Amino acid sequence: MTTRPLPSPANAPTPAAGLRFRGDAAAELFTRELQDSLAGIMAKNRIGPEGGISAGAFTASVDGRPWHDTIWSRDNAVLLRELIHHGDLVTATALARALIRSVAPNAEGFWTLPMYLARGERSSGSEWDGNALFIVGVVLLWERLPQEDPARRELADFLLAPESTARAVLAELSHRPFVAGSGEFGGGLGLEGLFYNVVQNAMIAWMLDVIAARFRPADPRAPELAAGCAAAAQALRHGLVTHFVAGDGTWIWALDRATLQPSDLALKSPENQGFGGVNGVMSHAADVHGFQPLRDPAPWLAPSLQTFWSLLGRPHRLMQFARHGMWTQFDVLHEGFLTGPSYGQGYALQDMLLMDRPELYTPAANWLARATFAPEYPITRTNPHWFYERYYSPDDPARKTRDEGCGALNLVCVAEPMKVARLMAGLDDHAVGEVALLPRLPVGWTGLNAAGLLVRTAQGHTLVDFEVAADATGRIRRVHGASRDPLPLLKVRLGTAARPHWLTVPAGATAFDLADTAGN
């Protein structure tokens, strides 16, 4: 196989954002925000060789802001995912190696990352969203690296070891129905202790699914681990829809470990009222199960959709969305006037895209682009295109005095918009031997240029460039592009989600040029 040569980590260039949107002003703004924010975290958040075992990881924030000298497992895991899909395997490999070096055995002897690490620290913990997302990223990286790459052996050894994170999950699920976790996706923001959380356990289910379905190294330990993960994932997915669904069909945020009943402590916490992080069940499923959840609905989809619509229908949030395109992140916290490009606007926008609802994702994307460039309160940054942590509503009477928290270049608040952009591009390589390309451009965004996006192949990966053209109504009219190496079977969706026009490019092609001529 011939691929674009990868430079060594020491000499790796700072990558340019691979997606450029065109059309109205919001499309141009969003492109610049993606580019400048990615360049910003590469220059300011990435830890260099002086960081010792932390070299290659990224700090949560910069410039002396809260958590500026810490490495958050969840933030690094979602960035790992985006680096892989955007074709930067050099930086992704360095990041994965840094976290593998930094994880220490927990009390039971398993490798489980904590919520965050200090530079140079080895530690363990129980924030399972970070652990699950990191293992998903490790599998995605392992299967896309060329087979001759020595990093594949390191990643496989980490996944298969007796101390591995996956085996920690299997050990816990051998005698408990769910995995108890802590942090923002445990009990919730500011709550100490361990809880059964719906988002964490869904992320763990996706982690088990990806190991069972797609991790197949030539190692005698692999079939045993894959079989254990498959059985545990099935039981966990069944448990989610059995125990975490309320009478109104929505997800229950957290259960008490002793009773398996809704946790009053977690559910009555003001920080959890209307918390948009619950949309992460559906958004993170896309990392493993692809970009078309409505095509073959799984049992977890119905409560995810019901939760989304229930949250959107709350009067204050609905008013903010109708006025501005803003999805508020909380009902009570910050008087319901705050969101962010990660667990608020970011997760909701990802779900809107996965649901194929342009009437929702168009105003949501436009608002995110505008609010990033022109925030409603003063924030500290040297580049007006950097994503930041806390976005306040234009209707917030206290917005001019609000605290900016982690501020500009908060790591997860850069990584999740990168995923939003990737869902808009629609390049989905989750299925073995098949790639789907289903662009979803906001209405008024008339085009997209993608450069160097990565597609996995039987040999590892290839890189793809493509261009998308849409009309003023959002209908995809043409898609054309080329790959460095032969592609698997490629299925392309033109037209609209409501009236799709699917075309197929046979396996082995290195170029494609497709137009919507069906009159849809």
417: how many CB neighbours lie within 10 A of its CB?
Answer: 27
- Where are the CATH 1.50.10.20 domain residues in the chain? 9-425
As beta bridge partners, residue 463 has 454
Positions in the chain whose pLDDT score sits under 70 = 1-17, 518-520
Q: What's the pLDDT at 190?
A: 87
Q: pTM of the full predicted structure?
A: 0.95
Pairing verdict, β 70-72 and 116-118: antiparallel
CA 154 to chain CA centroid, Å, is: 24
- Please, what CATH class does the domain formed by 9-425 belong to? mainly alpha
Q: What's the pLDDT at 170?
A: 98
The long-range contacts involving 388-391, CB below 8 angstroms and separated by at least 24 positions, are 388/413, 389/61, 389/340, 389/342, 389/413, 390/338, 390/340, 391/326, 391/338, 391/339, 391/340, 391/341, 391/344, 391/345
* DSSP three-state, residue 452: strand
User: Which helix (H) or strand (E) covers residue 255, if one does?
Assistant: strand 254-255
Q: What's the pLDDT at 1?
A: 26
CATH architecture observed for domain 434-515: Sandwich (2.60)
Q: Which two tokens stand for residue 433?
A: 């031997």
- Where are the CATH 2.60.420 domain residues in the chain? 434-515
Q: What's the pLDDT at 257?
A: 97
Q: What's the pLDDT at 518?
A: 66
Q: What's the pLDDT at 7?
A: 32
Distance from C-alpha of 323 to C-alpha of 59, rounded to nearest angstrom = 35
Q: What's the pLDDT at 459?
A: 84
Distance from C-alpha of 503 to C-alpha of 355, rounded to nearest angstrom = 21
Structural contact between residues 414 and 270, judged by C-beta atoms closer than 8 angstroms: no
